[in-house]
Amino acid sequence: MIRLRNLRLKNFLSHVQTEINFNDETYVVLGENASGKTSILRGIFFGLFGEDLRKSRLEKLINRRSNSGEIELTFIHRGNEYTVLREFSVRRNTATLFKNGKLEATGVNQVKEVVRNSLGLMPEIFKNTVFVPQGEIVGLLKGSPLDRRKVLNRLLGLEEYEKKHEMIKKERKEIEGFKKHLEASIVGVEKEKEEGKKLEKRIEVLNERIGTLSDEVKNEKGEVERIQKELEKLEEKKNVYTQISTELSSVQLNIGKINEKIKKLNEKLKELKEKKGNILKLRDEIRPLKGAEELSEVVQELKLLTKEHENLRKTLDEKSKLLSEKERIKENLPKLEAELNNLIRKEEELIKNKELLVEKFNDLNRLKDEFTKVTSEIEMKKAQLLKLREEIPEVDLSEFEKLRFNFEEKLSKLKDLQEKLNLIRKEKEELSDRVKLLQKGNSKCPVCNGDLTEEKRLNLIEESKNRLIKVSNEEEKLLNEIEKLNGEIKSLEKEVKLKENLIVKKETLESEIREIEKEIEVLSGKIPKFNQDEIKQLEISISDLEKSRLEVLKRKTELSQEIKSLREFIERQPKEQVLQLKKKLNELEGEISKLKQRAKELKEKYEIPVSNGKELSEFLRKLKEKENLLKRLEGEVSSEGDLRKELSELEEELLRLRERESSLRRRLEELSFEEGLYRAFKKSSKELISQFQKKKEELSKLIGEKAGLEESLKRLKRRIEEGERIKENFLKVRQAVNLLSEVERSMHPGEGFLKFVRTMLLPQIAYYCKEFFSIFDFEFGDLYIDENLTVTFGIPGQGTMSLDELSGGQQVAFALALRFAMARNFSQRMELLILDEPTVHLDAQRRMGLTELLTALKTKLPQMLIVTHDPELEVVGDRVIRVRNHGGSSFVEVGS
């Protein structure tokens, strides 16, 4: 098919800048998971076909640190060298193809056309022959017949047919559902025909009733129109009558209101006439008001001066007494000052005695605090000591020694069992290697290296297998015993540690107790001695001294204040003040006499009949009330002109309204409208019009019902016509379902056309497979592959064998041979084999077989590319490509 020559990846997946040159050799791509190994295979596939192995979108293939990528792939095909250059981004995708250094095609579609049609390279055939995906070697050999058949269909390129079968199956089910819907519709058509007949009968009945009602309405219409016109005229007359009556009522109401207003105005004018007489009388009565107000002011001033005169007289008497007291105070003052000096000396003595007692009291209190502190510490230590003694655990040392001895004994036993297990495992490994060597047909004895006959080799295999089973059983028994012993050891170890912790705790607590006992002994020697009664006596003495000091202080303060007051009193009592007070008193008496004379004059002038202040206040109050009444009456009398003007306007309005009333009465008489006749005519007309209206409504309703029924009948007829067409379509749909069912059966994966294709292709593939199988030095007389990928091998002289009976290496060899046969069947020459993680899901035996097969295949195939994380396959490669990932980027190193 093709052979690789160069691959360059730029910003493709995790490869920022990777370039690998290829020759006709075997390459092992080795690296950890997620290092970027498989990305190399995806790069080869994308470079060749312009699509991803995993069908990822284009933007997912670009390295996250860039917004565009580039792949350049060079390969040999049919002796020519081709180079494909693909550049891609989220918005743009280009491709260029060179043949032997010359431009062959440009553009994605043109390059695709040349690669697929001119070169004959198809992505599906490439995946089914050259490329072996991860885990598919085992996938060919395991699974149910159905699973194996699916793999075979894919390898034969029949997978698309299987997909088409599912599409046809889905389409057939959808059309069947439509067919059922059509069947239901056909059943409904007959019911709709019966419904149509019922509708036609109902329309006939309606037509008869509509005709009768139409004649009646036509005949009654003229009479109803005449009555309606007459009624309209009466309504117009009634409206005019109502309008005039309403206006007349309004005019009469206004006449009544105006008469009432005129009456009230006349009454007010009469009252004003009376009030004019009262005003003259009031003016004469309030004439003394001015004199009374002045007299009131004089009386008030007289009261104030009299009060001031009394206060001055009293002050003068007191001052006179104090002048006589002053001499006596001067004689007593030296005695009081001597007493004050004695009190000051006594206070100082008391303070000094108190300070001495307080100092002694403080010393005793310090001793008391120290005593309390030391005693408290001793009690705390004693409580701590008691608690520690309670916490000391009881430990049986003999039991502990016995427990520890048992623990060490079991540890020793475990060590012996593990040594025994290691020996058994070593023997098991040697037996396994011996069986493998013997099964490969080795003619040398693996034990003594002597020659072996076939019979002896088989016997030795049997003996080794039996011994291997026995050793495996012993290994399992030992493992169970070790597991049980480990459980016992863990339990004992936990118990030993617990006992050890208790012993350590006991020793620690005992040491702490000894330390605390020493501390108590030291503290007991520090307790001070003092007399509690002495402290109490001192407290009483200090309290008594303080009381005495406070009493002395109080008397001293009182005496000082008294002396100060007396000194101030002596200093502020001059004789001049008494003389000034007498002078001011004489002046006040003169003013009081003048005010009394003025009051007498006012009473006589204004004829004020009062003898004291209370009578004057009452007289003045009454005059003020009369003054206020006079002002109010004068205000009311001043509005007489406005009232007479308003009265004149109302009389004019009354005259106008009486004229309007007469005019409205004349119009009512001229109208000649009778309410009783109008109501009787309206009632009879209303009944007649109502009957006529009901007939019209019934007619309209019947016409509407008829129109609705006719519309329903039209729709029903359309549905019946549609039903008839559905009948025709139903027959066509039924034919389509039958045809699709037949196609579905013919394309079924397990039968029909696909079975026929597999039956035709498999004998040829089996022939090629047998031919390629011989490459691996495995020869069989015959080889048969059925459509479930069940393989039967014919062995000359030994009958047949199934695929399961082959060794691991033979099974892997068959899987690869099958791929070569596929390639041959599709006229493809196997020049390249790509395997992605071929050891996944393979056991040790198959991995060993795969390694041997790939080593043998190196001489048969020009080029192999093996991607793996398994270092065992490193021996297969001519060159090793190591891939590592650092910081999210893949780095490649090609070694020899």
pLDDT digit string, tens, across residues 287-342: 777 777 777 788 888 888 888 878 877 877 766 666 666 666 666 667 767 777 78
* Angle (deg, nearest 10), helices 844-857 and 808-825: 50
Contact (Cβ atoms closer than 8 angstroms) between residue 69 and residue 88? yes
* Residue with more model confidence, 495 or 757: 495
Contact (Cβ atoms closer than 8 angstroms) between residue 565 and residue 336? no
On the 0-12 / 13-18 / 19+ scale of CB atoms within 10 A, 210 is middle
What was the pLDDT predicted at 773? 62
Considering the domain 397-490 in this protein, what is its CATH number? 1.10.287.510
pLDDT in tens, 642-654: 778 888 888 888 8
Phi, psi of 843 (to 5 degrees): -80, 180
Give the list of residues 6+ apart from residue 316 with CB closer than 8 angstroms, or none.
Answer: 578, 581, 582, 585
Indicate if the pLDDT at residue 21 is higher than 60: yes
> Is 445 labelled as part of a ligand binding site?
yes
Provide the percentage of residues in the chain whose pLDDT is more than 90. 12
pLDDT in tens, 138-197: 555 555 656 556 666 655 555 555 666 677 777 777 777 766 776 666 666 777 777 888
pLDDT in tens, 514-538: 777 776 676 666 555 656 676 677 7
Indicate if the pLDDT at residue 573 is higher than 70: no
What was the pLDDT predicted at 154? 58
pTM: 0.38
Dist. CA 881–CA 873, nearest whole Å: 12
Q: How confident is the model at residue 407 (pLDDT cuts 50, 70, 90)?
A: confident
* Mean pLDDT for the stretch of residues 109-116: 94
787 alpha-carbon distance from chain centroid: 57
Least confident residue range of 541-555, 556-570, 649-663, 816-830: 816-830
Identify any residues that bridge with 444 across adjacent strands, giving them in sequence order. Answer: 451
Contact (Cβ atoms closer than 8 angstroms) between residue 793 and residue 801? yes
Least confident residue range of 252-261, 385-394, 629-638: 385-394
What DSSP character marks residue 131? Answer: E
Q: How confident is the model at residue 69 (pLDDT cuts 50, 70, 90)?
A: very high
Contact (Cβ atoms closer than 8 angstroms) between residue 136 and residue 151? yes
* Residue with more model confidence, 358 or 26: 26
Give the domain ranges of the chain: 292-391+532-577, 397-490
Token pair of 118 as six digits: 């001119």
Cα three-residue angle 346-348-352, rounded to 5 degrees: 115
Dist. CA 63–CA 71, nearest whole Å: 12
* Mean pLDDT for the stretch of residues 744-773: 60
Give the list of residues 6+ apart from residue 472 with CB closer than 8 angstroms, or none.
Answer: 428
Which of the given ranges, 468-482, 546-560, 673-687, 718-732, has the highest pLDDT on average? 468-482
Dist. CA 191–CA 307, nearest whole Å: 129
Provide the b/e sequence for 600-638 (b: ≥16 CB within 10 Å): eebbeeeebebeeeeebeebbeebeebeeebeebeebee
Dist. CA 279–CA 114, nearest whole Å: 137
What DSSP character marks residue 783? Answer: E
What DSSP character marks residue 876? Answer: G
What was the pLDDT predicted at 28? 94
Contact (Cβ atoms closer than 8 angstroms) between residue 747 and residue 164? yes
What was the pLDDT predicted at 879? 92
Dist. CA 370–CA 375, nearest whole Å: 9
pLDDT in tens, 806-843: 666 666 667 766 766 665 555 456 688 888 888 877 77
Average pLDDT value for the chain:
78
3-state secondary structure of 623: helix
What was the pLDDT predicted at 827? 45
> Is 448 labelled as part of a ligand binding site?
yes
Indicate if the pLDDT at residue 692 is higher than 70: yes
pLDDT in tens, 433-489: 878 887 777 666 665 566 767 777 788 788 888 888 888 888 889 899 888 888 888
Dist. CA 849–CA 641, nearest whole Å: 143
Rounded-to-10 torsion of CA 180, 183, 189, 192: -40
Dist. CA 130–CA 819, nearest whole Å: 8
Phi, psi of 611 (to 5 degrees): -120, -10
Q: Among positive and negative, which fits the CA dihedral 100, 896, 38, 883?
A: negative
Give the list of residues 6+ apart from residue 76 with CB closer than 8 angstroms, or none.
Answer: 2, 3, 5, 82, 831
Per 3-state DSSP, the chain is made up of helix, strand and coil in percentages (nearest 5) of 75, 10, 15
Indicate if the pLDDT at residue 253 is higher than 80: yes
**First vs last Cα of the chain: how many Å apart?**
26
Contact (Cβ atoms closer than 8 angstroms) between residue 148 and residue 788? yes
